């Protein structure tokens, strides 16, 4: 290892150092001083963003014997993780305080999960991919079980741990097969080996299938989606928000590094599998979401349907498709953060606003937050001029250019079906009588961040050009 290699991982070193610092300092804090851990965590994310910006050169740099890469895609995705995680930390503070869960462990685990995401996004070796994935996953398992007094959270954490362990084993087995055939864990070497093959042997295809199955599980694609609604429902809302947003950004990097950078030459083999996963996710996600009465479970099935759209971008197997998937992932994470933020906002001590009926009459109770939720639901449904419309449009254009017309038609049809359950939320907020007369209390900081978050879904929809160009540059 050269000394210059360490300059590539300064953001990761900083986040690791600060996570350990928060852990140590929190051990000496009294309950009324927990804001210190929160502030240090937010400073960590700000500091990591500044360091990442200063390290950005616009060109790719590979270090640590080919195991770690810094490029524009990695920097953009890391910035997205910092931004969304910072917003989730803001939303979660009052929620955790009201439930006596405002402890440093939440932020320590969150920072270690962010560190795992950063490593995963910059992985250039199957070994680094696995290390980043496990660091992120183990932190998320603990966060789901964070409310130890809740049987529902404990059950969700156990399911997540067991199924996540199974998926990790499948991934590791697939990687071992690929390593056995190619003789390398380096993604560039694997890509060169695969490009030189005129046909792919049975072991290569078997290894690829195992890896795609693991990717599908981590994304929550059908038929490997069984964990998503249970974990979204069982975890504390603050944790659900984190899993449903920042983790999805890392999952995009996971797919890009393994499938595109490493196994892009096998696109003819994995493209058909992704088509099946995408169609099933769009169908099951949108149809089953209609039957949900719990908004967290509804958002879980909504996530599954959005994963179907993200996979469409990879199915296009060209830079335009990949950049469209990247744009979709970033904008979805931003929009979903606002949706979970409003769910957290309406919750109070001893009460979880996780049923759709809890949104009844929100316009009468607080018109501004009803309007924010309307923007979020319109964006998720793909209604112009919100950013969700342009995200879907970019993906559809990418697959139409590849003459996959039938797939685009299927995606549009399932999106129309999916619009029903988003519009149901709007109907409940604006046309039903309020069942909860309690006043909505919110701190000034959360009000500003939540409002900015929701309005961003509209602003990016009106002016999407800069982010689209950035995604094209990052992929190009």
Instruction: Give the C-alpha separation, 242 to 220, whole Å.
Output: 15
User: Closest by alpha carbon to 211, among 190, 192, 231?
Assistant: 190
CA distances from 326 to 15, 76, 205, 221, 470 (A): 24, 10, 26, 17, 10
109 beta partners = none
Q: What is the largest CA-CA distance in the chain?
A: 68
User: Closest by alpha carbon to 230, among 294, 282, 281?
Assistant: 294
pLDDT in tens for each of the 476 residues of the chain?
Answer: 567 778 889 999 999 999 999 999 988 888 788 889 999 999 999 999 999 999 888 788 888 888 899 999 999 999 999 999 999 999 998 888 888 888 889 999 999 999 999 999 999 999 999 999 999 999 999 999 888 888 888 899 999 999 999 999 999 999 999 999 999 999 999 999 999 888 888 999 999 999 999 999 989 998 888 889 999 998 888 999 999 999 999 999 999 999 998 898 888 889 999 999 999 999 999 999 999 888 999 999 999 999 999 999 999 888 999 999 999 999 999 999 999 999 988 886 556 777 888 888 888 888 899 999 999 999 999 998 999 999 999 999 999 998 899 999 999 999 999 899 999 999 999 988 877 666 677 777 888 999 999 999 999 999 998 999 999 999 87
The neighbour count for residue 6, using CB atoms within 10 Å, is 13
Instruction: Give the C-alpha separation, 188 to 294, whole Å.
Output: 45
The neighbour count for residue 61, using CB atoms within 10 Å, is 14
Between the two ends of the chain, the Cα-to-Cα distance in Å is 29
Assess contact for 223 and 280: CB atoms under 8 A.
yes
User: Which pLDDT score is estimated for 84?
Assistant: 95
User: Which pLDDT score is estimated for 313?
Assistant: 92
CA angle (55 as vertex; 52, 56 as ends), nearest 5: 90
Summary count for the chain: helices (H), strands (E): 21, 2
Instruction: Give the C-alpha separation, 116 to 128, whole Å.
Output: 10
* Tokens coding 87: 């917003």
* Tokens coding 140: 């998320």
User: Which pLDDT score is estimated for 351?
Assistant: 67
In Å, how far from its chain's centre is CA 176? Answer: 27
Instruction: Give the C-alpha separation, 380 to 43, whole Å.
Output: 31
User: Which pLDDT score is estimated for 355?
Assistant: 83
User: Which pLDDT score is estimated for 21?
Assistant: 94
């Amino acid at each position: 290892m050269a000394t210059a290699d360490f300059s590539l991982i300064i953001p990761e070193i900083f986040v690791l150092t600060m996570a350990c610092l928060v852990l140590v300092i929190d051990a000496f804090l009294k309950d009324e001083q927990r804001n210190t851990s929160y502030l240090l965590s937010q400073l960590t994310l700000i500091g990591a963003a500044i360091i990442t910006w200063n390290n950005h050169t616009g060109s790719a740099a590979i270090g640590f014997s080919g195991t770690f890469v810094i490029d524009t895609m990695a920097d953009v995705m890391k910035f997205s993780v910092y931004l969304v995680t910072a917003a989730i930390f803001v939303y979660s503070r009052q929620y955790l305080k009201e439930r006596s869960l405002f402890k440093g462990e939440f932020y320590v685990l969150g920072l270690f999960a962010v560190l795992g995401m950063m490593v995963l996004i910059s992985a250039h070796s199957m070994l680094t991919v696995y290390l980043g994935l496990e660091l992120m996953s183990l932190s998320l398992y603990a966060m789901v079980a964070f409310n130890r007094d809740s049987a529902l959270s404990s059950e969700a954490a156990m399911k997540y741990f067991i199924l996540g362990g199974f998926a990790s084993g499948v991934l590791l087995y697939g990687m071992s097969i690929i390593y056995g055939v190619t003789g390398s864990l380096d993604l560039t070497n694997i890509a060169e080996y695969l490009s030189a093959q005129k046909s792919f042997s049975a072991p290569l295809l078997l290894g690829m299938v195992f890896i795609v199955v693991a990717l599908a599980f981590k994304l929550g694609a059908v038929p490997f989606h069984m964990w998503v609604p249970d974990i979204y429902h069982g975890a504390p809302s603050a944790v659900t928000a984190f899993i449903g947003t920042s983790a999805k950004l890392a999952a995009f990097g996971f797919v890009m590094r393994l499938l595109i950078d490493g196994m892009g030459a096998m696109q003819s083999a994995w493209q058909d599998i992704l088509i099946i996963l995408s169609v099933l996710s769009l169908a099951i996600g949108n149809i089953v979401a209609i039957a949900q009465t719990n908004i967290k479970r509804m958002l879980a099935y909504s996530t599954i349907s959005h994963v179907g759209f993200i996979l469409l971008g990879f199915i296009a197997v060209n830079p335009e498709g990949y950049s469209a998937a990247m744009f979709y992932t970033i904008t979805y994470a931003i929009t979903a953060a606002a949706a979970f933020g409003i769910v957290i906002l309406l919750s109070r001590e001893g009460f979880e606003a996780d049923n759709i009926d809890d949104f009844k009459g929100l316009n009468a109770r607080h018109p501004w937050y009803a309007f924010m939720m309307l923007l979020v639901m319109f964006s998720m449904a793909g209604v112009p001029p919100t950013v969700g419309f342009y995200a879907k449009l970019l993906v559809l254009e990418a697959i139409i250019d590849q003459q996959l017309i039938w797939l685009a038609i299927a995606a549009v049809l399932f999106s129309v079906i999916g619009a029903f359950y988003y519009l149901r939320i709007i109907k409940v907020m604006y046309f039903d009588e309020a069942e909860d007369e309690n006043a909505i209390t919110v701190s000034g900081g959360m009000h500003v961040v939540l409002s900015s978050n929701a309005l961003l879904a509209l602003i990016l929809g009106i002016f999407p050009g800069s982010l689209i160009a950035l995604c094209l540059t990052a992929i190009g």
